[in-house]
Amino acid sequence: MQGIYLYRPFNRDRYPETAPLRAAGYLATWLSAFPDSKPMRERPRFRDDPHCDFEDWCENVVLLHEANARGIPVWILPSAPHIWVSTSGWQTPISVPGAPAGAMFGGWSAADYMEGLPVPISLAGQDTAAVDAASSYAASPVFLRHAGRRMIFVDASNEDLERALAAILGDRPEAVVFLKSVRKEFSGTARIVAGTSLHQQVFEQMDGLDLEIVHYEGDRRLLLVQDAVHCGYEYRFFVVDGQLVTGAGCVVHHTPLDNAEIFDPQMEPARDSSEVGSYPAVRDQHLAFARTFVEEFAAEHGRRLDYCLDVAVGADGRTFVIELNPPLNCGRYASDVGAWMDAVVARTEAAAAAGHTGKHS
């Protein structure tokens, strides 16, 4: 192995109390790395009560588990303040010419180079432009063509929110809109009616949104406002180097322990409100859509992109794209993390062999 592989889990002092029964293999991996870790209850009784969420823990330990299974040497980084990773991926550190290629699993800290890393590391193929492309998806013509709804970025001001809501409403007497903070601090729907202050209507229905705008006053692209649409059979694909590598239904209580296939067919017809079932025909429909989307998105932004692609079936029965996320925000669900890691390692080793250092702005 020529690449460098870094891993920073969160809450390394604990594991969920049901892990011995539900995830014995994962637990053995965890305890081999963190032998002093103790079992914790899985839901807090009080706000500050120590606990350990089973799904979050699985999404962290699965990276180390799959790396060990492949003989990948992983450098476990020390804990760092303000780095709490409950989903798995990497962030892009600042690089220097000649830095070796590497992959970062977990959160990056600016203090890492002071903790013993010999030189800054260039994450193979993952640069700031690639992260921006996934984070600013609503500005992409390819994304908007496949979204099936109007989407508008909103700056942190009442005036800009009013403008965006008016554009979404158009000539209609009323509409249901979906608002999402790009900082992932909140999301929700609101019904707006023509003829009165639209942003005040939304403030009355979404507690704290007015304070959010005041707090981030002057920030650009604070919110994303869009038409509310029906989302059925929600599904997440994982993309490495512009290639689809695995996928799974967006089932909150599923983890990689529930994986059955590389592109897993398990989904909920209505998220969080219906039974999980196996829907291979829907999976195949999603997969055909995703293959088209990733090729068009790569043509627009370049192939060296790593992200997850969320899709769903709309009211018309067709698949559409919900959103993109950079790797750090990609919850795993029942995806095949081994297949994802194989793709990451193949790309990282190729970059290391070629002496690639990545491009950083």
The counts of H helices and E strands in the chain are 10, 16
pLDDT greater than 90 at residue 43? no
Tokens at 132, concatenated: 């921006």
Could you tell me if 236 and 247 are in contact, meaning their C-beta atoms sit under 8 angstroms apart? yes
Q: Can you tell me the distance from the alpha carbon of 44 to that of 77, in angstroms, rounded to the nearest whole number?
A: 27
Nearest to 224 by CA among 142, 146, 138, 148: 138
Mean pLDDT, rounded, for 224-236: 92
- Cα Rg of the chain (Å, integer): 21
> What is the per-residue DSSP string for 159-175?
HHHHHHHHHHHTT-SEE
pLDDT greater than 50 at residue 46? yes
Predicted TM-score (pTM) above 0.85: yes
Least confident of 26-30, 265-269, 298-302, 329-333: 329-333
> What is the per-residue DSSP string for 112-175?
GGGGT-SS--EETT--HHHHHHHHTGGG-HHHHHHH-S-EEEE-SSHHHHHHHHHHHHTT-SEE
pLDDT at position 202 is 95
User: Strand 151-154 to strand 38-40: parallel, antiparallel, or no bridges (unpaired)?
Assistant: unpaired
pLDDT greater than 80 at residue 81? no
> What is the per-residue DSSP string for 285-305?
HHHHHHHHHHHHHHHHH-S--
- Judged by DSSP in three states, 236 sits in strand
Nearest to 88 by CA among 3, 8, 5: 8
Query: Could you tell me what percent of the chain has a pLDDT over 90?
Result: 52
pLDDT at position 258 is 97
| Exposure letters 165-177 (e unless 16+ CB within 10 A, then b) | beebbeeeeebeb
- Judged by DSSP in three states, 349 sits in helix
Q: Can you tell me the distance from the alpha carbon of 203 to that of 11, in angstroms, rounded to the nearest whole number?
A: 36
pLDDT at position 25 is 97
Could you tell me if 127 and 92 are in contact, meaning their C-beta atoms sit under 8 angstroms apart? yes
Higher-pLDDT residue of 12 and 360 is 12
Tokens 């038409």: give the residue: 227
Query: Could you tell me what percent of the chain has a pLDDT over 70?
Result: 84
Q: Can you tell me the distance from the alpha carbon of 253 to that of 333, in angstroms, rounded to the nearest whole number?
A: 8
> Model confidence at 284, in pLDDT bands (50, 70, 90)?
very high
> What is the per-residue DSSP string for 86-97?
SS---------T
pLDDT at position 354 is 84
- Judged by DSSP in three states, 266 sits in strand
The 10s digit of each residue's pLDDT in 155-205 is: 989 999 999 999 999 999 999 999 988 766 678 899 999 988 999 999 999
Dihedral angle sign, alpha carbons of residues 342, 343, 346, 352: negative
